[in-house]
Amino acid sequence: MKFTSYIKKYPVFIIFLIFAISLSVNKGFTEGDFDVFLNASKRLVAGEDIYSPPHFRNLQYYYSPLFAMLLAPATFFPDYIVKILWLVLNSFLIIRVWKLCSNHFDISSLTKKQYNLWMAISIILMLLPILLNFQALQMTIFMLWSILESLSLFNKKKTILGASVLALAINIKLLPLVVIPYLFYKKMYKPIIYVIVFFCIYIFLPHIILGYEYSGILHYSWWETINPTNKEHVVEQGGGFYSICALVPAYFSDLPMECNMSRPLNIMSLSIKQISLVMNSIRLILVLSMLIPLRSKSDENYKGFLSLSYLCLLVPLIFPHQRGYSFCFIAPVIIFLTYYFLKDRKRIVKRIFPFILFVISVILISPVWGRDIIGEYIELYQDYKIIPIAALLLIPAFLIIVIRDGKSKSNNAISPEDRLPGIKSPSSGA
């Protein structure tokens, strides 16, 4: 396909890439979390314990020894070059995430204008988490891509390649581990076996290259750092954290919070034990709610996409130590809801309550709202944990649509436009 015809077909992608690559060059000269990764890699080359002080800007390295080892060749280049290349890669991964999600929809009924509008609105609504990822030079976009790409490869019967991608992501950061129960529920046992095999290979690889003794010290220190039972992962009092572990204490305890302006309203003062019980109860409810999309009456393949999208939405809420950039995981749900209401605007009236929740949620995570309207009070945005509240609003919006449209699909008297949008069959290509 000629470049000019590609521009005409995907103008939104081209505009976004120009913006994202320009932003990459700009942010590549600033400090972010990728400096922490590079610093850990440099210390690994020097034979140090990368999980012990001194840390870069006192920021702890939480990722695997393998990731630091893989970054070792990058330490021979100027840091800004490596960071720019990483952000440029992220720019293309965002486009790939969009494609992997949109492949699940029947877009043949969309006009060219609707298709481009769908792309534009989806990207704009996700702009805040995207910008936060570029600002922090983080890994979330890569993690989201690895989940979607590996599932796509599994569906194409490319099990070994898909398992190698997913296992690498799990090794680097444990978040994609949530895909394993999903695969188990879907009875995809072969991919699970291959993921376990590749994960073991990735764990053992540093032993071969770095030596068993040094690698053993690193892996022990790594586990001590990421152990979920650590006190700092149970109740998070930092101003930049946004999971359930931070949201509940912010509103239901009198614990000191690291706030920019003022701490949220103290609705109720619970003990640490009670807070832990509340948080785990909420987590359990959210995990059990996965059964709603998993057991919906939608087309089997489409149900898989709904379930995976919802699973991604839950990740930054359930796991501890999640910051604003972690909410890039809500992208599949945003893409789905945008398509749902855009394809048939009559649904806005028929599903008015989910639509209102959706609108409120995307307004709350809008960078325009955050910067231009509240201005100097942007700190309140962090102190009051607005981002997880916005993500929680997406849950009822999403589930109500899945439940009601699932019932509609089982009723032959319901017209096709009232049903959940179908997906492309595997044979139709993507």
Residue 81 to residues 74, 195, 266, 335, Cα–Cα distance (Å): 9, 32, 46, 32
State the pLDDT confidence band at 429, using cuts at 50, 70 and 90.
Answer: very low
Q: For the chain, what percentages of helix, strand and coil (3-state, to nearest 5) are there? A: 75, 0, 25
**304: its two tokens:** 């898989």
What pLDDT is recorded for position 339? 92
269 phi, psi to nearest 5 deg: -100, 105
What pLDDT is recorded for position 379? 65
Angle at which helices 386-409 and 352-364 pack, to 10 degrees? 150
Percentage, residues of the chain above pLDDT 90: 57
- Provide the whole-model pTM: 0.89
State the pLDDT confidence band at 385, using cuts at 50, 70 and 90.
Answer: confident
Q: In degrees, to the nearest 5, what angle opens at C-alpha 93 toward C-alphas 34 and 126?
A: 90
**61: its two tokens:** 């390295």
What pLDDT is recorded for position 109? 76
Q: How far apart are CA 10 and CA 12, in angstroms?
A: 5
Q: Which of 223, 143, 219 has the alpha carbon at shortest distance from 175?
A: 143
State the pLDDT confidence band at 238, using cuts at 50, 70 and 90.
Answer: low
Per-residue pLDDT, averaged over 72-92, amounts to 95
List Cβ neighbours of 336 (8 Å cut-off, separation of 6 or more).
101, 305, 306, 309, 398
What pLDDT is recorded for position 412? 40
What pLDDT is recorded for position 103? 87
